[in-house]
Amino acid sequence: MAQLYDAISHNKKNSVFLIIAFVIIVGLLSYFLGILFANAYIGLVFGFLFVIIMVLIGYYSGDSLILSMHKAQEVKKADDPYLVNTIEGLAMAAGIPTPRMYMIQEESPNAFATGRDPKHASITVTSGLRKSLNRQELEGVIAHEMSHIKNFDIRYMMLVTVLAGVVVLLSDFILRSFLWGGARSGDRKNGGGVFLVLILLGVALAILSPIIAQIIKFAASRQREYLADADGALLTRNPQGLANALKKIRDAKDKVVDDANKATSHLFIENPLRGLGGMNKLFSTHPDINVRIQKLESM
């Protein structure tokens, strides 16, 4: 058990470093954007104002957009008493307000949590998951998602998603501006080979930053899945329940959640696009499901 809490502490520290890495990348891109059009300081101000605006939009509206995107419908106690009772009981055990319950009409078994904090959170399951899991397995999945809420992973992953999007947008803007000749006026103003070197560095950073941002996003999501597995097992005191649920999700014939996309795939308990193969499998936002099962069964 001590090793488990050491791993949780280690993952939380790594998460802080990942956010810092995102901020550094955004700062560098904003700096080079400022060099292109005015000066570095104006670029930094513009970049971080843009980040703040995007974060506020994601913070207050991100969960509603995600639920709407996946056509999720709220589940009331009259619709599915057992499912709602399960989430109420686990919320009480976790010491957090009861999240709202949603369901997607989708045969592929999967689930995710979203929201900005435990008071404004929801858990969504697919109809395929609801039909295929027994009581202990369903509790394991709900406890996993409850842990994402309790640990504020939902807010963290929303922030990572927004920052990754900002990095891609700034990178694309820098490259397009350079191609359109945006650097010429700055070149006349600053002159010299040093400016040219800075521009070349900025272009290189703009090309590499989206790749680096995605790698950071993948690493953040994988760490959070391991942590939620461990916390969910602690909540139910039954790691085998979640392990068995993951086995059913792994072995399901339908492995693709139709309305999922790359922007939201990291939210799900398992990669909802893995059935598409190719790059979706190679650059999965989730750790290997077999490793997760092994870790749970060894607890």
Tell me the catalytic residues. 145
In angstroms, rounded to a whole number, what is the distance separating the alpha carbons of residues 23 and 28? 9
258: its two tokens:
């139709």
Sequence-separated (6 or more) residues with CB below 8 Å from residue 6: none
Residue 233 and residue 280 in contact, taking contact as beta carbons nearer than 8 Å: no
Q: What is the pairing mode between strands 73-74 and 100-104?
A: antiparallel
SS3 state at 115: strand
**Phi, psi of 115, deg, nearest 5:** 130, 180
In angstroms, rounded to a whole number, what is the distance separating the alpha carbons of residues 221 and 223? 5
Residue 146 and residue 90 in contact, taking contact as beta carbons nearer than 8 Å: yes
Residue 218 and residue 129 in contact, taking contact as beta carbons nearer than 8 Å: no
Query: What number of other Cβ atoms are within 10 A of residue 44's Cβ?
Result: 18
Q: What is the pairing mode between strands 100-104 and 120-126?
A: parallel
In angstroms, rounded to a whole number, what is the distance separating the alpha carbons of residues 220 and 97? 25
Largest CA distance in the chain: 73
